[in-house]
């Protein structure tokens, strides 16, 4: 299915533009992360996608989940649902790359919370499609990946988490992220904050995007 989206096209150039695809958190919508577009490079097209599952209390979700899934530190029972969502996302991303005539070698994915978990899954298991991976305040667990963590290597990743995050406690994910650091070009930053993107986090993130721009 085609997902709703918001787009800010890159400033005109002779070169094909790269793109940053955004995946919002549980219960949010495409407008949420799109508000960050003003801070992101004009050389990049920005596309914020909206999750397919409408929630009864408003907002959208990438896959069904309850809080116990996070606290139990396991996404195994959601494996099939997550992979269905991933397949749909890949189809939508491919369509946008063609329709917008984007540089398929300069595709970045950025996700927050549940969208960050989707970002991890896409970035690790479909790494050939994405040059940069940016999961923020998100959940990662080997149970929803296709391989063990030590399988993944040489990936370009920036991730961050609040030390006071009560939605996804940092203790649930820190060891997995540190394991990935060993074989990947991975920056992991912690901020004295809750489940949010702080101003300092945003500054560091945008600086990292600039430092890792496509040559």
The domain ranges of the chain are 5-211
Average pLDDT score over residue span 91-95: 97
Q: Is the pLDDT of residue 123 over 70?
A: yes
pTM, two decimals, is: 0.93
Task: Please determine, for residue 51, whether its predicted confidence score (pLDDT) is greater than 60.
Answer: yes
Q: How many Cα neighbours within 13 Å face the side chain of 188?
A: 15
Q: What digits encode the pLDDT tens for the residues 126-154? A: 999 999 999 999 999 888 899 999 999 99
Per-residue pLDDT, averaged over 8-31, amounts to 92
More confident residue, 94 or 81: 94
DSSP 62-80: SS---HHHHHTT--GGGHH
Helix 79-99 vs helix 114-125: angle between axes, to the nearest 10 degrees?
A: 80
Per-residue model confidence (pLDDT) at position 67: 60
What fold characterizes domain 5-211? Answer: Rossmann fold (3.40.50)
């Amino acid at each position: 299915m085609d997902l709703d989206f918001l787009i800010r096209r890159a400033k005109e150039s002779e070169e094909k533009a790269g793109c940053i695809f955004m995946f919002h958190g549980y219960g949010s919508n495409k407008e949420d992360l799109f508000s960050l577009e003003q801070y992101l490079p004009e050389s990049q097209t920005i596309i914020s996608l909206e999750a397919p599952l409408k929630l009864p209390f408003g907002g959208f979700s990438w896959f069904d989940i309850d809080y116990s899934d996070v606290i139990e530190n396991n996404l195994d029972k959601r494996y099939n649902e997550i992979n269905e969502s991933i397949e749909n996302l890949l189809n939508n991303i491919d369509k946008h790359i063609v329709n917008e005539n984007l540089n398929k070698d300069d595709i970045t994915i950025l996700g927050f919370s549940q969208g960050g978990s989707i970002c991890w899954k896409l970035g690790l298991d479909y790494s050939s499609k994405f040059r940069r991976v940016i999961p923020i305040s998100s959940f990662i667990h080997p149970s929803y990946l296709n391989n063990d963590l030590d399988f993944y290597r040489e990936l370009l990743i920036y991730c961050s988490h609040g030390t006071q995050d009560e939605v996804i406690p940092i203790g649930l994910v820190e060891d997995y992220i540190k394991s990935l650091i060993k074989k990947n070009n991975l920056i992991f930053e912690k901020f004295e904050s809750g489940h949010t993107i702080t101003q300092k986090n945003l500054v560091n993130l945008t600086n990292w995007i600039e430092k890792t721009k496509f040559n």
